Amino acid sequence: MTRHTDDDGDAGDANGTNERGDDPVAERAATDGGVESASGGAESATGGTDSTELDPDAYDPVDVFPGGDLDLREGADSCYKCTSCDTSCPVAEVDDEFPGPKFQGPEQWRLKRKEDHDIDESITSCSNCMRCDDACPSSVPLSQMHNEARGQYVERQMEKLSVEYIRNRILANYRTSASLASKFPRTASFAMNFGPARWAMEKVMGIPKERDFPEFATETFREWWKARGGAKVENPDKRVAYFHGCYSNYNTPEVGKAMVRVYEHFGYEVMVPPQKCSGTPMFANGMLDDARRHAETNVENLVEAIGQGADVIASCTSCSMSLRQEYPELFDLHGIEDLAEHTFEALEYLRIHEDLEGELDAAGGLDDERAFAYHAPCHARNQGLSRQAVETFRDVDGVTMEDVGDSCSGISGTYGWKEEKYEKSMEIGEEMFEHMEDAEGEVGMTECPTCAMQMEHGTGYEIEHPLQLLEDALGA
Amino acid sequence: MAINSDVLVVGGGLAAVAAAVSAAREGADVRLVSHKASTLRQASGLIDALGYVPATEPAKPLRDGPPTAGRNLDPDEWPDPEGPLADPFEGIDRLPESHPYRVVGGDALRDGLDLFDDLAGDAYRGGHTERNALVPTFGGAVKPTARYPAAAEAGLASDDRPMLVVGFRSLTEYDARAFAGRLEAAGVPFDVAGAEVEFAEAFRADAKITRVAKALDHDEEIDGVPAREALAKAVAPHLHDVVDESGGVDRVERVGFPAFLGDDEGDEVREELADRLGADVFEIPMGPPSLPGLRLEDRLFDALDAEGVRFETGNPVVGVESASDGRVETVAVDRNGRTTPYGADAFVLATGGLVGKGLDSDREGVREPVFDLHVDQPEDRYEWFVDDAFGDQPYARFGVRPDERCRPADAEGNVQYQNVFAAGGVVGGADAAREKSASGVSLATGIVAGRQAATEASQ
Ligand SMILES: Cc1cc2nc3c(=O)[nH]c(=O)nc-3n(C[C@H](O)[C@H](O)[C@H](O)COP(=O)(O)OP(=O)(O)OC[C@H]3O[C@@H](n4cnc5c(N)ncnc54)[C@H](O)[C@@H]3O)c2cc1C
Ligand code: SF4
Ligand code: SF4
C-alpha cells in the first residue's frame, strides 16, 4: 500500500527531455509497429533496457527473489485461518479433490519450507481466478503464492513429455496458435471445429469436444490499424498506449476498434506498441518462463510509450490485472513498477479522466432499446471494476443493464478448456447461466474474452464488450 | 478529474451498508468503496443488539497502581455480566456514558434494526418484537440476539419441542453430542439428543462447506443417490434418539444441522429435508466460515444496487488527499498501486475494528489509518489489559470517539472534520464481544452517520 503514490509526474518529467522535439507522427510510426515483425528487435532485448529516457533511479526494482524463490513468509504468517478464502473459491465449491486456497497458499508454503516437501499436485487445479486474494481480510498474497507454487510444480515435478504438459503449453501459448490461425482465418475456424478434428483433439490432447473454438477474424486488429494509417488524432497532452491482448487482435478486433474510436472521440492520441501475450494463461498453467519472455517484450515497449507521455490501456481485465499486479509480483524487470502504475482498464480510465456520464447524457442515448445481462469477470472484481459497466450505463436512455450476480463464469481462461475440468467449469458457471436467462436482456456483456466464450457457450447469447456499447451510445 | 459523489462511504460491512442506504434514502448520491469482502463472511449471520451488560468495575476496589501489570498479583475479580437480557433497549441506560448507544440514543438502534428488517426482508426473523430471541450456536452457547436468519427459526431455545442435532463423523468441528450436552447443561426447556451420521464421508476428508452446500443446492448424486435424499436417509434412524427424564423415547419434532444446507436454494433444501424427515429443519449458526454471513452479504449488496448506491470492492482508501479548514475534500483510493482521488461533500468511515482492519495496532499504539483520526487509548500499554480475561478490557473499547452526529473527536474532544462521520467497529466505547452488541452498534451508528452525512452534503 505504500507503493509510489505520485502520479504521472515523474514519467512526464523524465520524458520531458525528449518531449515533442521529435515529430510525433514519426515517433508514432516507430512505436506503432503495425505488424509483428516490428517487434523483432525487442525480442532479443531483455530486462533492463536503456531504450527509454526514464531515470533508472526512479525505480525500486522488486527484490523478492533472494534465494531464487519469492520470500512470502510474512504473507504466510499473517494467515489466521479464518477460511474466508476457502468460502470464495469457485473451484473448491465443485471439486472434491481441491483442498482450497488456504491449503494451496499459506499451508503448502509452510510445508514446502520443511525438508524436501513436494508441491501438491492439486495446485494445478487452481484456475487463478484470484478471488481468494480479494476475500482475505489479512491481505495474504494468495494468488502470488499459487502462481509461484504452480511454477515450481510444473518446472520440477511435471513430466515434460506428458500429454497434459503439452496440451497446457499449447493452451497457454494461445497467441502462437492464434497468430498462425489468423494467417488462414476461414480455414482455421473451420478446421478447428471440424468434427473429426475435434474428436482427435479430445482423445489425443484432452480438449473437450463440447467447446467451439473461437472464430478468427479475417482482418486482425493490427492489420486494421495499419491499413487505417494508425492514429487519426495527434495530441501530445493526451496519449494512451493500447494493450489489445491476443483476443481482441485475433478474434474480436471490433472491441479494439471501438476502443480506438471512443478514445479518439475524447481527443486521445492512441498508440499501439508492439506486444505479446499478457501472460495470464501462462501463470495459470505454471509456465512462468514463457510468461517472463512475453513480459519482457511488453514491459519494454509499454515503458517506452509511457516515456512518451502515454498511459497504458487494456480492454481485457485479465491483461490489465497481469500488467498491474502479477508482473510486479512475479518478475523483477526494469520499469515494471512504472508500468503497473500507469496501467488502466479502458472504461476505468475514461471514468477517472473524463466526464463520461455528462458526455453520455449529452449524446442522448440509444435510438433503439437494448437490454444486457452483464457479468463481471473475476479479474475485474479484483481491480474494483465489477460495477463499472452497470453504473456507467445505468442512466443511459435506451439501455437496460442488469448485473447477473457475483458467481464466477467457470471458464477461467484455460481452465474450462481442459477435458478433465470441462464439467466442473460448467457447474461453476451454472448460476451465471441461470441468472442470464432470468435477466431481461438477450445479449450478454463482459470485459473478459474467455468469460464471453463461456457465456455464449452456456446460453447461446451474443456477447458484447462495454466499449462497443459505449461507442454506440456516444455515436463515436 | 476526481470521482465525485455527495457521500462517500469507506468500508463494506454492515455499518457501511446501513450508512450508504440511509444516506441514499435522504436523497444523496452515494458511493461505497470497500477494500475486501466484509467480516460478515466470518460472522454468524446473527444480528445482536445487546445481550449482556458487563460490569465495568471489579467486584472489589482496584488494587493500587495501574489496574494490571502486576503478574504476581491475584487477578482482579469481576462480577458476571448482567443478562441474558430479554429486552436489549432496557439495558442501554446501564452502559457506560461513552458507549455508542448512549451517544446516539436508543432510537437510533430501533431505526437501525428497522432498516435491517427492510433490507433483509423474509430472510430474517425477530422483527415482530423488541425482545431478544435465544438462538443456540455451535459454540455451545445459547445466544440472546435481536434478529436471526429464517433458517435458524425452528431452533430457538424458547421453543419446547424435542430436538435432534446432527453432526458428521468426518467433520469433527461440529460435535453434535457435545453440543447437545452443553444445551442440556444450559437448562433449555426441551429434550435434546446429538447424533453423528454418515453423509459428509462422500466428500473429500476436508471438503469445504461451500462444496457440501452446492451439492445440496443442485441435489447432486452422491454414490447414486440424490444428495438431499441421502442426507435424510442418514438422519432418519436417529429421529427417536431423544430420551426424556423418565426414560421415555420421543420422536423429535425438529432437527438442527450445521449451517450449510444449501446456498442459493437454502429454503428449498430445508423444505425437502423437512418433508422427508417429518420434522422441522433448521441451521445452527456457526463461523467462520459462515454461510449465513455470506448469504447476508449477498443480500445486502443486492439491496445497495436496488437503492441506487454505487459501489466498488477490491481497492482500499489509503488516506486523505486534500483537506481544508476542518473539511476533507478528497481521499485517495489505491487501485493496484496507483492512487486515484475520490471527492465527496461528506464521508462515512465504516472500516471495522481490528479484525476488519479499520484500526491498526503496533507497538506504538492503535491508529485509524484512513483519516488518521484520534483513537482514545491509555498511553501506557500496560493499561490496555486487565488480568482477568473476563474483565473489562480497555482495548476492547478502543476506537474513534464520535459525538451525537457520529463525528469523531480529536484528543481535545473537538470535532476533527466537520464532514467525516464514523460508524461500526471503528467506533470505540462498546465491548461488543462481551455485550453481544456488534451488529446493533453497526446499525445504530451506521444509520446516524449516513443521515448526517447526507444532511452535511446537502448544505
Ligand atoms: C468471527 C466474527 C463473528 C461475529 N459474530 C457476530 C455475531 O454473532 N453477532 C453480531 O451481531 N456480530 C458479529 N460479528 C460482528 C459483525 O459481523 C461486524 O463485524 C460488525 O458489525 C462490524 O461491522 P462493520 O461494518 O463496522 O465492519 P466490518 O464488517 O469489519 O467491515 C469493515 C469493512 O471495511 C473494509 N475496509 C477496511 N479498511 C478499508 C479501507 N482502508 N478502505 C476501504 N475499505 C476498507 C473492509 O474490507 C471491510 O469490508 C462477528 C464478527 C466476526 C469477525
Ligand atoms: S485463485 Fe481462484 S481457483 Fe485458485 S485457489 Fe484462489 S479462489 Fe480458488
Ligand atoms: S482468508 Fe487469509 S487469513 Fe483467512 S484463511 Fe485464507 S489466507 Fe488465511
Smallest-distance ligand from the CA of A101: 2
Question: Nearest CB to B36: which of A3, A5, A136?
Answer: A136
Residue B61 has pLDDT above 60, yes or no: yes
Per-residue pLDDT reduced to its tens digit, B132-158: 999 998 777 889 999 999 999 999 999
Ligand 1 pocket check for B31: Cβ under 6 Å:
no
Which CA distances in Å does B390 have to A215, B97, B203?
A: 67, 21, 40
Q: What is the CATH number of domain A221-353?
A: 1.20.1050
Could you name the CATH architecture of A24-37+53-157? Orthogonal Bundle (1.10)
Asked which of A17-26, A143-152, A412-421, B410-419 is least confident by mean pLDDT, the reply is: A17-26
Q: Which residues of A touch B33 (CB under 8 A)?
A: 384
User: What pLDDT score was predicted for residue A192?
Assistant: 60
Could you name the CATH architecture of A364-474? 3-Layer(aba) Sandwich (3.40)
Where do runs of H (alpha helix) occur along B153-199? 176-185
Secondary structure class of A120 (helix, strand, coil): coil
Which residues touch A136 (CB under 8 Å, ≥6 apart)?
A: A79, A84, A85, A142, B36
Q: What are phi and psi of B142, to 5 degrees?
A: -110, 120
For residue B133, what is the enclosing H or E element? strand B133-136
Residue A464 has pLDDT above 80, yes or no: yes
Per-residue pLDDT reduced to its tens digit, A109-146: 777 666 567 778 888 888 889 999 888 888 899 988 88
ipTM computed for the complex: 0.80
Question: Nearest CB to A1: which of B289, B298, B316?
Answer: B316
Which residues touch A104 (CB under 8 Å, ≥6 apart)?
A: A120, A122, A123, A126, A142, A145, A146, A149
Percent of chain A with pLDDT over 90: 41
Question: Nearest CB to B36: which of A1, A4, A134?
Answer: A134
User: What pLDDT score was predicted for residue A456?
Assistant: 92
* Spans of all domains in chain A: 24-37+53-157, 163-205, 221-353, 364-474
Q: Which cell is B331 given?
A: 481521499
Residue of A270 and A192 predicted with greater confidence: A270
Q: The pTM is what?
A: 0.84
Mean pLDDT of A203-214: 68
Per-residue pLDDT reduced to its tens digit, B262-290: 988 999 999 999 999 999 999 998 777 78
How distant is the Cα of A266 from the closest Cα of chain B, in angstroms? 14
Per-residue pLDDT reduced to its tens digit, A226-250: 999 999 999 999 999 999 998 889 8
Residue A213 has pLDDT above 80, yes or no: no
* Cα–Cα dist A266/A262, whole Å: 7
* Bridge pairing between strands A399-403 and A370-374: parallel
Using a CB–CB cutoff of 8 Å, tell me whether A403 touches chain B: yes
Q: What residue's CA is closest to ligand 3, atom 6? A: A85
pLDDT averaged over chain A?
A: 79
Q: Which residues of B261-288 are buried (b: 16+ CB within 10 A; e: fewer)?
A: bbbbbbeebbebbbebbebbbbbbbbbb
Q: Quickly state the pLDDT bin for A13 (edges 50, 70, 90).
A: very low
* Cα–Cα dist B280/B125, whole Å: 16
Asked which of A77-81, A241-245, B1-5 is least confident by mean pLDDT, the reply is: B1-5
Q: Which residues of B touch A321 (CB under 8 A)?
A: 336
Q: Which cell is B5 given?
A: 459523489
User: What pLDDT score was predicted for residue A28?
Assistant: 38
Asked which of A146-160, A333-347, B95-109 is least confident by mean pLDDT, the reply is: A146-160
* Cα–Cα dist B320/B370, whole Å: 7
**A-to-B residue pairs, Cβ atoms closer than 8 angstroms:** 127
Q: What residue's CA is closest to ligand 1, atom 51? A: B43
